[in-house]
Structure 1
Amino acid sequence: MNTPLPVTLADIRAAEARIRGRVRHTPLMVDPRLSGVLLKQEYRQETGAFKLRGATNAILSLSADELARGVVTASTGNHGRALAHGARACGARAVVCLSHLVPANKVQAIRDLGAEVRVVGQSQDEAMAEVARAVAEEGLIEVPPFDHPAVVAGQGTLGLELLADCAAPSSVLIPLSGGGLAAGVAAAVRSLSPSTRLVGVTMARGAAMAASLAAGQPVEVPELPTLADSLGGGIGLGNRVTFAMCRALLDDVVLVSEDEIAEAMRHIRAATGDAVEGAAAVGVAAILSGRVKPGPATVCILSGANVAPETFARIL
Structure 2
Amino acid sequence: MSELTLADVYRARQRIKGRVVATPLVQSMALSRIAGVPVYLKLETVQPTGSFKLRGATNALAQLAEQGCKRVVTASTGNHGRAVAHAARALGMEAAVCMSSLVPKNKVDAVDALGARVVISGKSQDDAQVEAQRLVREEGYAYVPPFDDPRVIAGQATIGLEILETLPDASTIIVPLSGGGLFSGVAFAAKCVRPDIAMIGVSMERGAAMHASLAAGKPIFVDELETLADSLGGGIGLDNRHTFSMTRELIDHVVLLDEVSIARGIVHAYREERLVIEGAAAVGIAAVLDRAVETRGTNPIVIVISGCNIDIDAHRRLIGA
TM-score normalised according to structure 1 size: 0.97
| Cα 1:63/1:275, change in 2 over 3 Å | closer
In structure 1, distance between residues paired with 2:52 and 2:294: 25
The aligned runs of 1:144-223 (5 Å cut-off) are 144-223=145-224
Is 1:308 aligned to residue 311 of structure 2?
yes
Asked if the contact 1:147/1:180 (under 8 Å) is kept, the reply is yes
Query: SS of 2:30's equivalent?
Result: coil
Q: Counterpart of 2:54? A: 52
Output the CA distance in 1 between the equivalents of 2:68 and 2:255: 39
Q: Deviations over 1:194-227 (max 9, x none)?
A: 1210011101100000100111000000000000
Counterparts of 1:286 and 1:65, CA distance in 2: 42
Counterpart Cα distance in 1 of 2:97 and 2:54: 15
* Cα gap change, 1:294 to 1:315, in 2 (>3 Å): farther
Q: Are residues 1:71 and 2:68 paired?
A: no
Quote the Cα distance in structure 2 between the aligned partners of 1:312 and 1:6.
40
* Structure 2 residue runs without a partner (length 5+): 33-37
1:33 to 12, 30, 34: 30
Q: Distance in 2 between matches of 1:64 and 1:300?
A: 34
Aligned mates of 2:41, 2:141 — CA distance in 1: 38
The one-letter code of the counterpart of 2:3 is P
Cα shift at 1:65 = 5.6
User: Which residue is equivalent to 2:64?
Assistant: 62
Say if 1:170 and 1:298, in contact at 8 Å, map to a contact too: yes
Residue of structure 2 equivalent to 1:5: 2
Q: CA deviation at 1:90?
A: 1.0
Distance 1:267 1:280 in 2: 12
Alpha-carbon contact 2:65-2:91 (below 8 Å) kept: no
Is 1:231 equivalent to 2:264 in the alignment?
no
Give the conservation status (yes or no) of the 8 Å contact 1:37–1:294: no
Hey, which bits of structure 1, 4+ residues long, moved more than 3 A?
A: 63-66
Following superposition, the deviation at residue 284 of structure 1 comes to 1.0
Mapping for residues 87-126 of structure 1, pairs under 5 Å:
87-126=88-127
1:66 Cα deviation after fit:
4.5
> Percent identity between the aligned chains?
53
Q: Secondary structure at the match of 1:33?
A: helix
Kept in 2, the 8 Å contact 1:54–1:154? The answer is yes
Q: Which amino acid aligns with 1:257?
A: D
**Count of matched residue positions in the alignment of Structure 1 and Structure 2:** 312
- The alpha carbon displacement at 1:5 in A equals 3.1
Moved more, 24-33 or 288-297: 288-297
Computed over aligned residues only, the root mean square deviation of the Cα atoms, in angstroms, reads: 1.0
Q: C-alpha displacement at 1:64, in angstroms?
A: 4.9
Residue 244 of structure 2 aligns with which residue? Answer: 243
SS in 2 for 1:236: coil
Give 1:40's aligned amino acid: K
Partner of 2:302: 299
Secondary structure, in 3 states, of the residue corresponding to 1:61?
helix
Instruction: State the shift of 1:272 in Å.
Output: 2.3
Q: Does 1:270 align with 2:267?
A: no
TM-score, scaled to structure 2? 0.95
Local SS of the residue matching 2:118: strand
Mapped partners of 2:27, 2:267: distance in 1: 17
Superposition deviation, residue 308 in structure 1: 0.1
Q: Separation in 2 of the partners of 1:248 and 1:168?
A: 22
